[in-house]
């Protein structure tokens, strides 16, 4: 068994001790502008995106008003201005280096106007027929609000053509890809020359990766982006992974304002059906035996290593002192006898205050002092190998804290999560952001703290997504939570609100 020395207890969530924390990093878009079009010319994946955009324009009714948000050096605006000479195109870009390059490129077009602004400073008009945002959303602050801005620019029924970098920018992978292409096209000397001329690109791509790791730039899965877009008032017409799997392309239609609130169907209906089917094959197990816990720690290790959020270790297990506190419950999801997902729960009451998230956000202790109880779910893992099986493992695992909150009758449920997961918790589980994200020495990404007053949210969540709750006709979908008699006590009814 790995050591559980008390000294480990202060280790915050998702820590990679091998990587020291640094000042927040962002790309320098002005510096990037000097070499940006080298990328455009020599990167086949970028060329493929431009071609796909031009092909798309050939399929739509001519728009009257088009916005290009984060237009960079104007490559997409140039296509739109050429294909639709009668359209009015508004180029929105906050960085002067980029704007200068775009103006030089677009000088021949008189249907382009320039707004030297960030999206968040653009006044919404509701007149656009088409808004495009290519590889700019991830670099903006607060994506949920920015998607709302994009929605407000559009008339109801207008189109959003969105491409966004979602996965971590593997700089080495891109370097190899571009070099091998350049070498084929221009020989070794030519490839080296272009690399030298474009050295600023490598520098800025490294900055992008750093900003992604720090959570300054948004990383997301395909599903997370679709959820965020839908939540902002769009219907997704089509979606696919592009740019060598690093980015997502979504064509979306702006829902009329009265329909813009998140809707349960059909997306919710399909999801409920999928989870119900998966629950018939799944089983929840509370883990206490050493052998089971070792399997759990191995699964965790595999998951965190796959995301490169921890350094390797010889035992290939991941655990800490919080795994053995008396108020800790480990629950795993098994399918066909295999452990595929797991979650750790800490039940905090006056009987036991131990909780990894309370260590990181000690302000929460005020809640406990007021007599409230807290559920702290952490170490949420799903087997990377199982993610491709199209089983909604995330939902199966998220039933664990939901059912635990019901079983232990907690007042406050926590969700200490990375930026890219916050939209999901808000949308499906009624969580709200409570405290500013925190970073720690060695932490790769800051942790956002979301909380939900569980009793207030429970009914709304169940009305929308019934599969989170008890499913009487699927007996194995329940969880046999331990009593925790000496370690946890629910607050007295009414006391927490009155305190």
Q: Which is nearer to ligand SAM, 15 or 140 (CB)?
A: 140
For residues 360 and 377, give the distance between their C-alpha atoms in angstroms, rounded to a whole number. Answer: 14
What is the closest distance, in whole angstroms, from the C-beta atom of residue 146 to ligand SAM in the complex? 7
Q: Which is nearer to ligand SAM, 2 or 148 (CB)?
A: 148
Q: Which is nearer to ligand SAM, 15 or 27 (CB)?
A: 27
What is the closest distance, in whole angstroms, from the C-beta atom of residue 231 to ligand SAM in the complex? 19
Out of 89, 112, 118, 375, the only residue in the binding site for ligand SAM (CB under 6 A) is 118
For residues 387 and 219, give the distance between their C-alpha atoms in angstroms, rounded to a whole number. Answer: 17
Q: Which is nearer to ligand SAM, 162 or 415 (CB)?
A: 162
Q: Which is nearer to ligand SAM, 105 or 427 (CB)?
A: 105
Helices 143-153 and 222-231, packing angle to 10 deg: 50
The 8-class DSSP code of residue 310 comes to S
CA 385 distance to own-chain centroid: 19
Strand order in the sheet with 112-115: 112-115, 88-92, 65-69, 128-134, 154-165, 247-254, 234-242
Q: For residue 325, say if its preceding peptide bond is cis, omega within 30 degrees of 0.
A: no
Stretch near ligand SAM under the rule CB under 6 A, chosen from 6-14, 129-137, 320-328, 398-406: 129-137
Q: Which residue has the tokens 């740019």?
A: 243
What is the closest distance, in whole angstroms, from the C-beta atom of residue 489 to ligand SAM in the complex? 48
For residues 242 and 169, give the distance between their C-alpha atoms in angstroms, rounded to a whole number. Answer: 13
Q: Which is nearer to ligand SAM, 9 or 45 (CB)?
A: 45
Strands 374-382 and 412-417: parallel
CA 407 distance to own-chain centroid: 29
What is the closest distance, in whole angstroms, from the C-beta atom of residue 140 to ligand SAM in the complex? 4
Q: State the Rg of the chain over Cα.
A: 25
> Nearest Cα to 333, choosing from 245, 393, 274?
393
Number of Cα atoms under 13 Å in the Cβ half of residue 134? 19
| Residue 401 interacting with ligand SAM (CB under 6 A) | no
Write out the E strands in 14-143. 65-69, 88-92, 112-115, 128-134
Q: Which residue is nearest to ligand SAM (CB)?
A: 72
Q: Which is nearer to ligand SAM, 198 or 356 (CB)?
A: 198
| Residue 219 interacting with ligand SAM (CB under 6 A) | no
What is the closest distance, in whole angstroms, from the C-beta atom of residue 167 to ligand SAM in the complex? 15
Q: Which is nearer to ligand SAM, 29 or 431 (CB)?
A: 29
| Residue 136 interacting with ligand SAM (CB under 6 A) | yes
Q: Answer for the pair 288, 332: CB distance below 8 angstroms, yes or no.
A: no
For residues 179 and 190, give the distance between their C-alpha atoms in angstroms, rounded to a whole number. Answer: 10
| Phi/psi of residue 272, nearest 5 degrees | -60, -40
The 8-class DSSP code of residue 324 comes to G
Tokens of 458: 């429970």
What is the closest distance, in whole angstroms, from the C-beta atom of residue 219 to ligand SAM in the complex? 15
Q: Which is nearer to ligand SAM, 79 or 396 (CB)?
A: 79
| Residue 119 interacting with ligand SAM (CB under 6 A) | yes
Q: Which is nearer to ligand SAM, 120 or 185 (CB)?
A: 120
Out of 134, 207, 333, 345, the only residue in the binding site for ligand SAM (CB under 6 A) is 134
What is the closest distance, in whole angstroms, from the C-beta atom of residue 452 to ligand SAM in the complex? 30
| Phi/psi of residue 162, nearest 5 degrees | -115, 125
What is the closest distance, in whole angstroms, from the C-beta atom of residue 220 to ligand SAM in the complex? 16
Q: Which is nearer to ligand SAM, 75 or 451 (CB)?
A: 75
Q: Answer for the pair 294, 317: CB distance below 8 angstroms, yes or no.
A: yes
What is the closest distance, in whole angstroms, from the C-beta atom of residue 52 to ligand SAM in the complex? 12
Residues 402-441 that bind ligand SAM (CB under 6 A): none
What is the closest distance, in whole angstroms, from the C-beta atom of residue 210 to ligand SAM in the complex? 15
For residues 457 and 442, give the distance between their C-alpha atoms in angstroms, rounded to a whole number. Answer: 34
Site string for ligand SAM, 137-176 (x = CB under 6 A): --xx------------------------------------
What is the closest distance, in whole angstroms, from the C-beta atom of residue 260 to ligand SAM in the complex? 22
Q: Answer for the pair 35, 62: CB distance below 8 angstroms, yes or no.
A: no
Burial zone of 412 (CB within 10 Å; 0-12 exposed, 13-18 middle, 19+ buried): buried
What is the closest distance, in whole angstroms, from the C-beta atom of residue 481 to ligand SAM in the complex? 45
In the chain, the N- to C-terminal Cα span, in Å, equals: 43
CA 325 distance to own-chain centroid: 30
What is the closest distance, in whole angstroms, from the C-beta atom of residue 202 to ligand SAM in the complex? 14
Q: How many CB atoms lie within 10 A of CB 223?
A: 13
Tell me, by CB under 6 A, how many residues bind ligand SAM. Answer: 20
| Residue 382 interacting with ligand SAM (CB under 6 A) | no
Site string for ligand SAM, 61-100 (x = CB under 6 A): --------xxxx--xx---------------xxxx--x--
Binding residues for ligand SAM (CB under 6 A): 29, 69-72, 75-76, 92-95, 98, 118-120, 134-136, 139-140
């Amino acid at each position: 068994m790995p050591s559980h020395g008390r000294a480990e207890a202060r280790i915050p969530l998702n820590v990679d001790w091998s990587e020291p924390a640094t000042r927040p990093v962002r790309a320098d878009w002005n510096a990037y502008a000097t070499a940006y079009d080298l990328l455009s010319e020599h990167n086949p994946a970028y060329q493929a995106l431009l071609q796909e955009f031009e092909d798309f324009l050939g399929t739509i009714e001519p728009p009257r008003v088009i916005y290009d948000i984060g237009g960079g050096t104007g490559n997409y605006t140039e296509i739109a201005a050429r294909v639709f000479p009668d359209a009015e195109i508004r180029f929105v870009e906050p960085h002067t280096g980029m704007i200068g390059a775009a103006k030089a490129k677009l000088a021949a077009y008189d249907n382009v106007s320039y707004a030297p602004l960030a999206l968040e400073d653009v006044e919404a008009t509701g007149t656009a027929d088409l808004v495009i945002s290519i590889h700019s959303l991830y670099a903006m602050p607060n994506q949920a609000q920015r998607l709302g801005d994009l929605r407000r620019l559009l008339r109801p029924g207008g189109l959003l053509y969105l491409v966004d970098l979602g996965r971590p920018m593997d700089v080495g992978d891109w370097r190899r890809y571009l070099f091998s292409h350049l070498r084929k096209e221009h020989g070794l000397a030519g490839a080296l020359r272009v690399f030298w001329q474009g050295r600023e690109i490598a520098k800025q791509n490294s900055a992008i990766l750093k900003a992604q790791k720090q959570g300054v730039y948004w990383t997301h899965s395909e599903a997370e982006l679709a959820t965020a877009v839908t939540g902002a008032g769009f219907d997704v017409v089509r979606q696919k992974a592009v740019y060598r799997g690093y980015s997502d392309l979504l064509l979306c239609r702006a829902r009329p304002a009265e329909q813009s609130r998140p809707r349960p169907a059909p997306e919710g209906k399909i999801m409920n059906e999928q989870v119900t089917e998966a629950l018939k094959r799944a089983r929840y197990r509370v883990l206490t035996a050493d052998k089971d816990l070792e399997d759990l720690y191995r699964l965790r290790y595999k998951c965190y290593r796959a995301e490169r959020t921890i350094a390797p270790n010889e035992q290939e297990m991941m655990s800490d002192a919080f795994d053995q506190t008396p108020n800790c419950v480990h629950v795993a999801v098994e399918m066909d006898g295999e452990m595929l997902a797991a979650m750790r729960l800490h039940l905090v009451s006056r009987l036991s205050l131990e909780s990894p998230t309370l260590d990181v956000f000690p302000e929460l202790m005020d809640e406990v002092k007021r007599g409230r109880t807290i559920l702290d779910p952490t170490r949420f893992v799903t087997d990377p190998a199982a993610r491709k099986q199209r089983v909604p493992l995330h939902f199966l695992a998220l039933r664990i804290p939901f059912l635990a909150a019901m079983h232990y009758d907690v007042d406050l449920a926590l969700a200490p999560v990375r930026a890219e997961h916050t939209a999901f918790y808000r949308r499906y589980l009624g969580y709200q952001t409570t405290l500013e994200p925190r970073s720690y020495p060695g932490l790769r990404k800051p942790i956002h703290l979301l909380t939900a007053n569980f009793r207030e949210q429970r009914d709304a969540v169940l009305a929308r997504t019934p599969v989170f709750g008890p499913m009487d006709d699927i007996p194995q979908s329940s969880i046999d939570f331990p009593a925790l008699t000496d370690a946890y006590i629910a607050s007295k009814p009414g006391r927490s609100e009155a305190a």
